[in-house]
Chain A
Amino acid sequence: MWYEFFTFEIKYRLKRPETYVFFLFLFLFSVVGVEFVFQGIELGLVGKNSPLVIAKTMGAITGLSMIIASMIMGVPILRDFQYGIASLIYVNPVSKSSYLMGRFLGSFVVLLIIFSGVLWGMILGEFMPWADRSEYLPFQFVNYLQPFLWVAFPLLFFGASVFFVTGALSKKLMVVYTQGLIIFVLFMLTKGITNETLQALLDPFSLTTLSKVSKEWSVNDRNTLLIPVSGIMLLNKLFWVGLGLAVLAIGYFRFQLVVLIEKSSNKKQKLKSAAHSGQNQKSLPVIIPVYHWKAQFVQLFLNAWFHCQSILKLTSFWAIIVCCFVIILVNSLSLGTSYGVDSYPTTYLIIEELQEMSLYFFMIILAFYSGEIMWKEKDVNLDLIHYSSPLSSFVNVSSRFLALLLIYAIVMVSLIVGGILFQTLHGYYQYELDVYFFGFFLEIFPFLALYTMAALFFQALTGNKFIGILATIAFAAINVAIGIFGLEHVMINFGGQSLARYSDMNGYGHFLTGYLWVKAYWVLFGTMVLILTSILMVRGKETKLKKRFTRGLAQMGKPLITFSLVCVGLFLVAGGYIFYNTNVLNEFWTDQQKNSFRFEYEQTLKQFEYTPQPKIVDVNLIIDLFPSERAYEIAGTYVVTNSSPTPIGEIHIQKLIESKVRLTDVVFDRVVTPNTRFEKYDYTIYKLGQALAPGDSMKMNFRQTFRPDGFESNDSGTDVVYNGTFFDNAVLPAFGYQRKIELQDAADREGFGLAPRLYKASRDDQEELHNARTGSDSDGITLDLLISTETPQTALTSGDLIGQWTENNRSYYHYKTDQRIINFYPFVSANYEVLRDSCMPSGNSQQDYVDLEIYYQEGHEYNLSRMMESMKHSLDYYSTNFSPYQYRQLRIVEFPRYRSFAQSLPSIIPFSEATGFVMDIDDHKGVDMVYYITAHEVAHQWWGLQLEAANVQGQHMILETLAQYAAMMVFKEKYPDEKVQQFLQLQLDDYREARLKSSKEEVPLALVENESHLYYNKGAISMYELQERIGEDHVNLALQHFLEDWRSFNNPQKPKRYSTTMDLIQYFREVAPDSVQYVITDLFEEVNSLE
């Protein structure tokens, strides 16, 4: 008997179109599954078809697609009730067990067939033409099959059991829709569990379990081992399969073969019996219905409210909302930013957390309730009555659209209230309601509105709720993919760009204008889609698409036609205006074009890479900043010297490649003939009438202006902004070939037939040994800089402030260096508060005070004292142990969080708003990273600014690793050993994590190129180890000698080249006893994986 139900179920499913749609969906999705799941995660040397990667991908796709499982498994019993056939079946002598078993097994087999799409899709993905074979291991079927059977299958079984039983017991379709989501919520909840083992055990998708299992695996293990059927993995699977079996058992006992289950009678409403007698003879009031446009507006809003209320009354909706809040509550308990340190719950951080976490739920609400709301009349069979009303089709569709928007707004307001509560509970009372409001209603709301329009359209187009929902999800996925595949222009990429990050300093800055225009453009597009939706909307019994379209078109009223034409018109106007801005006023380059340009640049100009060019020795600039226009004007003079042994007959000038930057009036103190053959690359060769002899100097004058016009397609310019301008001298005219313009990415280079680029030259490269930076134009300069900005902003750069005045509402600052500095200085301007102090570094020989200043955004006072203290301690320690501090001031200046780093330039340290200013340091639990980072940056005033390293392998060990060491020593003086150990543990964790993702074989520290996990994290650990073994004093002594011999300025003994790690290690060896020489070898010259 059960077999009859079993085969019936399979036959029934095979006839249904959803079965094939689901299969195809999973199949196609899985073809790009690995790319989707591992997006932005470096796999390094681990193959894309290694069992572990396949298992994780399968787990994630299966988990994400639980909703499909729900739609298959939830309905077999429910269907009998829906179609009213249950009574016909239940009167037969069927046993409960054969009925349930047949239905369950039949559906489950179909479910497996559908989900086998994941298996086949992923296999096919490996053989797609775009797959890069070098990222894959040789194909092995078992690598796919084993994870499918061991990871996906048990998960499907659990899902199938739960969905089947809840569907059978609840007999509610909406429950079937939402339960797929609930499992996902469960998964998210396990993310909040801090106990790793428990988390691995309870993760329904086994993703954290897989991570835990493979934590100790080497790259080779990852590539070869199948998923273990033991340990925590086994426990996890047993747990969930067991739970599935338990649910099935409960379902079996609770289910009854009856059609109507009596509920407790008090719940049933008692109908007052309507009086039989006395027909009411009162005649009806005569009310004339109205249909003018005002009436339509009233209809629009009343209907929107009606639909909105009906969603608000749904249990499923509240289930989603409760889940959403639970997840946010669990997750935002840690507002982790960098270095494992929490931040203050500032509004913009809270809002970013809320945005990120709620977006998934908004998308769920969007996809599902757009389906619900479009078919709600049909679902209760009220559709014919509804359609026969004279409601305009467009008003009808729009009111549903508005209702969904209203739902989003309500959820957003509650999220905002939640955010404020969270802040209050954390004792933070600076609620910025405007930031909250804009964060949701400016950033997320338009995005949701556009996707809702699309979702409603897909509902109308497909004429089927399920398929419409799937089409919506597929559309969203495709859009993400398209963004990656190079349809970059905001006018083509659906919905346009997202808004730049909000910054306390700069608000939304200049990004807002372009953003709003593009959103207006897409909203007009969406309105046209909405009109099309109203045309296509099923009305009455016609379901064929073509018929609906012709019929809908024919029934369009005059006002709607006018409205459509107005929309088309405005759409074209907005589009035209955007195009004018992005492609006429500005240049639009696709990534492909940019890459080609870089390729051609390299092909054409590489020949000049080491053509001798003069070095800058003196810089004199007058720079006027216009932050409100995001513009600058620079008049500059370089004094350049020929430091090469041969006369220089040609000066090669590379202008900054940016369309709105103009370089004019390039004048030399002698006759020149410009050669504009390479104008395309903004590269001009000036032939000198009289060559520059070795050792001779000459002057070069220039003017450079930057004046943006309109907005760009994907504006990422953050150099000059309304408040928080920060850029450096890299924008100024440079000499000769610029290697930084070359194509960087190895894959891109391969596409053009170029060999991969060396990140650093080898330690015996004679050219680069004489360069302290890539393409360096100088071996040290003196700087005289007059910088002006709009009052009340403060303008800053390196050097002593020797003059300051205000004129015509502009503030002028005159800076001048009293010594040579490296050719690296910033231009900073913002509306700052200032904290001033001074100190006398204990190791300085002259008894001069150093002025300490922190320029910060009002409201970011939290960590100023930590920074100030760190500056003082650092100056003391470094001046005592390395060499005196060379400048008369040290400034920290805050810049907007578009970029998040801190950087050391001569006597000035630009420090990102995102790094340190809002960190909430808990001295019990956390590490004082503000103190540490400050110390690290101050150390660069020595390592980098006093002593430069040659631009070869190991350069970063000298610059960064020594700065890490220095900072640790300062840190160690203030904080107890346990904090130091905590810090070292952080470094170890970061190093280990990065090592797994690295696609390069690890090199010894002394040969490090651009691997930040080596020169920062491993470097810190290695240096700490070194000073433990040979003593802090010895290390300092070595560094002191090293600095003395190799410092860049005031050092007549310095060899012509710059220092390398070979030199540095020699200094270490000199201070270390013979017995520990091997330690130095181990730590720096060999690959030691710190196990």
Chain B
Amino acid sequence: MDNLIITNLSKTYNNGVKALQNVSLQIPKGMFGLLGPNGAGKSTLMRIIATLQEADAGVIQLGNINVREHHHELRKVLGYLPQQFGVYPKLSPEMLLDHLAVLKGIIHRAERKELVQALLHKVNLFEVRKQKLGGFSGGMKQRFGIAQALLNNPKLLIVDEPTAGLDPVERNRFYNLLSEVSEQTIVILSTHIVDDVKELCTSMAIINQGNVIVQGHPLQIMENLNGRVYEKTIQKNELGQYKKEYQVISDRLYLGKQIIHVISYTHPGANFKPIEASLEDVYMSQITHA
């Protein structure tokens, strides 16, 4: 299967915000996690890949498709689930899927019907296929979203923060579905939730303020930080002091106490406990550095 290769992609908005700066990525088949804080440029990047927005410079190549020049060719093999989307509230999922299938070039009625039924089964909406979309819960709507993205058997599937607002059960089911799909397909999953990437992705990139900070296999990335992360439980009012003295990458509360993680080449001593580097540590170290 062909890789998605992004080279030196840049995009500056009219208001001067540099959404993407010389972004280069290599994305193979499987699940690719795109991690970054809110406003990092993830959605812009995904929309540009999905041909819904123009970049200022750079090249995107999927196999032999030059994406920026041949939108139409890419759309033929694209599945896209935007961060936010709506539906016609008065239509049933069956009808809307059928309509979208037509748009995607599935024009034989019987084939379309078979496909829509199968997809509805797959995303567990078959039972409610005749009900109105307007009454769907967030999770059901999201499952409908993935169903429509799979209609054309895509080579490239882009899902933008798909689990926001889903309860844990829905989230799990959603990821199972994605990982199943990723056996055949390039799946780009953008998220700001580190655990999502850790659980699912075979490769990943961290993006912040329009720059790719790091990319690779999650394990390798974590490997780089191994042996340098330490943890300590401190008093809340000491946090400022520690932040001055150490390179604090994260602070969080645990049972009312403040726990901090710091990075150090040497043991920082005094009740600091060395810990295994997690992906979250990597993420936090990268984005706080910047």
Contacts and interface: CB of A to CB of B under 8 A. Distances in A.
B152 interface: yes
Interface stretch (B131-139, B204-212, B241-249, B253-261): B131-139
A381 B80 CA distance: 14
9 contacts: A286-B153, A298-B107, A382-B87, A385-B145, A386-B100, A386-B103, A387-B52, A539-B52, A541-B52
B127 interface: yes
B229 interface: no
A392 interface: yes
Given A276-B169, A388-B75, A381 B127 contact: no
B148 A385 contact: yes
A385 B100 contact: yes
Interface string B48-83: 001111100000000000000101100110101110
Nearest to B83: A384
B23 interface: no
A287 B106 contact: yes
B220 to A, nearest CB: 30
Given A274-B140, A287-B111, A384-B82, 9 more contacts: A274-B127, A288-B153, A386-B103, A388-B80, A389-B103, A390-B104, A392-B72, A540-B47, A541-B47
A280 B127 CA distance: 13
B118 A285 contact: yes
Interface in A378-415: 380-382, 384-392
A291 B106 contact: no
Contacts of B51: 388, 540
Contact of B52 (A271, A388, A554): A388
B118 A282 contact: yes
Interface in A249-282: 268-269, 271-272, 274-276, 279-280, 282
B265 interface: no
B273 interface: no
A385 B80 contact: yes
A284 B140 contact: no
B86 interface: yes
B128 A272 contact: yes
A384 B105 contact: no
B128 A274 contact: yes
Contacts of A306: 99, 102
A289 interface: yes
Interface string B160-182: 00000000010001001100000
A605 B89 CA distance: 76
A899 interface: no
Contacts of A386: 100, 103
B148 A299 contact: no
Given A284-B115, A285-B114, A384-B82, A555 B121 contact: no
Interface in A277-321: 279-280, 282, 284-291, 295, 298-299, 302-303, 306, 310, 313
Contacts of B177: 279
A303 B76 contact: no
A561 to B, nearest CB: 13
A944 B89 CA distance: 75
Contacts of B53: 540-542
Q: Per DSSP, are chain A's interface residues mostly helix, strand or loop, or mixed? A: loop
A542 B54 contact: yes
A384 B122 contact: no
Interface residues of B, number: 57
Contact of A389 (B69, B75, B81, B169): B75
The list of the 3 closest CB pairs from A to B, nearest first, reads A540-B52, A381-B86, A289-B105
Interface of A: 268-269, 271-272, 274-276, 279-280, 282, 284-291, 295, 298-299, 302-303, 306, 310, 313, 376, 380-382, 384-392, 539-542, 547, 551, 554-555, 557
A382 B72 contact: no
Given A274-B127, A295-B107, A541-B53, A284 B86 contact: no
B186 interface: no
Nearest to A550: B54
A279 B176 contact: yes
B99 A384 contact: no
Given A287-B106, A289-B76, A385 B128 contact: no
A313 B90 contact: yes
A382 B84 CA distance: 9
Contacts of A555: 71-72
B125 interface: yes
A272 B127 contact: yes
B124 interface: yes
Contact of A284 (B84, B85, B104, B150): B150
A392 B75 CA distance: 10
A291 B131 contact: no
A275 B112 CA distance: 24
B9 interface: no
B142 to A, nearest CB: 12
Contacts of B106: 287, 289-290
Contacts of A287: 106, 111-112, 114-115, 153
B119 interface: yes
Nearest to A540: B52
Given A271-B128, A287-B115, A282 B121 contact: yes
B115 A271 contact: no
Contacts of A313: 90
B85 A384 contact: yes
Contacts of B87: 380, 382
A389 B104 contact: yes
A274 B103 contact: no
Contact of A279 (B85, B115, B173): B173
Contact of A269 (B104, B132, B176): B132
Nearest to A386: B103
A901 to B, nearest CB: 57
A299 B88 CA distance: 19
A976 B136 CA distance: 77
A384 B52 contact: yes
A302 B135 CA distance: 26
A23 B70 CA distance: 43
Interface in B186-215: none
Given A274-B140, A303-B102, A280 B122 contact: yes
A382 B118 contact: no
B238 to A, nearest CB: 37
Contacts of B86: 380-382
A391 B145 CA distance: 18
A1038 B125 CA distance: 98
Interface in B225-267: none
A271 B136 contact: yes
A385 B82 contact: yes
Contacts of B99: 302-303, 306
B103 A303 contact: yes
Nearest to A288: B153
A547 B176 contact: no
Contacts of A388: 50-52, 75, 78, 80
Contacts of B47: 384, 540-541
Contacts of B80: 384-385, 388
Contacts of A540: 47, 50-53
Contacts of B85: 381-382, 384-385
B107 A299 contact: yes
Nearest to B170: A276
Given A280-B122, A287-B153, A390 B75 contact: yes
A318 to B, nearest CB: 14
A387 B53 CA distance: 11
